[in-house]
Structures are given as structure tokens and as C-alpha cells.
Amino acid sequence: MKYANLRLRAAVGTATVALVLVGAAGCGGSAATGKATAGHSTPTTAGPVSAAAVATTSATTTSSGRPSATASPALPDGRSAAYLTGLDSTHGTVTFDLIEFLTGAAAKAEWKKQHPSGPDGPDNDYLIVNNNTKLRTVPVAAGAHCVVLSSLGSTDTKTVSFAALPAYLKEQNKGMTLTPPHIAVQPFWLTVKNGNVVKFEEQFLP
């Protein structure tokens, strides 16, 4: 497992803002694929989900034309962190690279395990672990909420529709270095219910 310090260009303070992700782009322009990155964020309310423990799903199509989750979902119900790699508003799906977003004691313990003679913990008290770059695709529920940062480096948020999310991220990440297949600098939190993503939350990183 490799680690790389993760920083954004302009950020002040610590905060955890909405998030949900898929993709392969490091924050602040550093790649995150196949690595762990360190930084800081306020601990989240949900624990990390292991990428290795999640199976891939194949979506079937309902009479409405939108995909539905199968009995073997790519993500269990709950909240999981990921880098976004694809958004299909026409067919209602999101493709992502699942990660572990560790904070507090969990981030410190993992950091010390990998750096026994190094500092006490990662910079800014957060650690992103991405040892499995397998991409997963999950159906998105109609009317899913997408909570995004008003701008990179800001903790202010706004809500956009799923249909508007691809264009919003393209504009937000203008001028930033993205490593394909990631389509956003910041990771996201995906909230899944009955096998469908019902909420996207962009994670603030200092």
C-alpha cells in the first residue's frame, strides 16, 4: 500500500461537507488510483467500506427504462466513499472507484501501520485508501439529491440535479489536473437505498 499527501490549492479550516464519489483523480491534482492519500477532514458519521468486500452488479432495466439493482449490488445500502468515474443521466447510472476514507483514530492507526517509524499520523487527520481500482456501476434513483461544494476550497454547498451534475463538475474542475478515469478532484459519498444511489455528497478536503 502506498501513501501520498493530498492537498487542495485553496482551503482553510477543517470541515466535512457532503460527498459521494467515483473516479480516478486525486485531490489538488494528485492521482489517487491504487494508493492511499493523506490529509484532513472532520470524521464522518459513517464508517469506511472496504472496496475488496464489495461485489460488482449488473443492472437490469425496468419498464420506465431506468436500471434497477440486482440481488448482488455493487454497494450495500448505506453511505460509501468513492471517486466518480462516470455519470450517465440518460440511463440513470453512476460509475465509480470505491475508496476508504479514514479519519481520526482509524486514519492514525492505518498510517502508523504503514509508517511505523514515521509521524504520528497523516496530514490534516484524514487518509484515503484506494488499493482496489475496480470500477463499479450502480443505478441512480430518480430525483437523487446531489450536494456539491459551491467551489473547490469552500465548505459552502449547494444542491443540483443528477442531470446537471456532469456539467457542474466539468466547470468546477476546470484548470485542475484530473487523472483518468476520475471526473472530479474531490471524492464523493454515495448513499445507497435498495441498491440505488439516492444521494451524492461532495467531500471537502483542505
Query: Is 24 a member of any domain?
Result: yes
Query: Is 18 a member of any domain?
Result: yes
Query: Is 181 a member of any domain?
Result: yes
Query: Is 59 a member of any domain?
Result: no
Query: Is 51 a member of any domain?
Result: no
Query: Is 67 a member of any domain?
Result: no
- The per-residue pLDDT for 56 is 40
pLDDT digits (tens, 9 = 90+) for 159-205: 999 999 999 999 999 999 998 899 999 999 999 999 999 999 999 99
- Cα 111 to chain centroid distance, Å, stands at 20
158 HSE (CA, 13 A, CB side)? 11
Domain containing 112 equals 3-43+73-202
Cβ contacts of residue 60 below 8 Å, gap of 6+?
Answer: 67, 68, 70
Q: How many domains does the chain have?
A: 1
| pTM of the complete model beyond 0.85 | no
pLDDT over 70 at 17, yes or no = no
Query: Is 14 a member of any domain?
Result: yes
pLDDT digits (tens, 9 = 90+) for 103-124: 999 999 999 988 888 778 888 8
Query: Is 159 a member of any domain?
Result: yes
